[in-house]
Amino acid sequence: MLTLMEIAEDPVVLRRRLDLREGTEVVFRPLTYTDAERLAGFLEGPVTRIEAAEYARRV
């Protein structure tokens, strides 16, 4: 069993991949401090696909 300290040191240990029926792969993982800017952008309001793609290229 993992401890909270182990998870805090290496959150990747909780990452899981899931293949959806239509073939799309989804990765479930805990949020980390590097996700803060993306999460804030999401919470601020709607983003177009073009804006999201431009942001993804910068990160």
Q: Name the residue range of residue 18's domain.
A: 4-58
> Which residues, listed in sequence order, are joined to residue 19 by a DSSP beta bridge?
25
Summarize pLDDT for 43-58 with one digit per residue, the tens: 887 667 777 777 777 7
> Which residues, listed in sequence order, are joined to residue 25 by a DSSP beta bridge?
19
CB 28 within 8 A of CB 16: yes
25-28 vs 16-19, strand pairing mode: antiparallel
23 — alpha (psi -120 to 50), left (phi > 0) or beta?
A: left
Summarize pLDDT for 4-52 with one digit per residue, the tens: 999 888 888 999 999 999 999 998 888 888 888 888 888 887 667 777 7
- Determine if the pTM surpasses 0.75: no
Number of domains forming the structure of the chain: 1
CB 43 within 8 A of CB 36: no
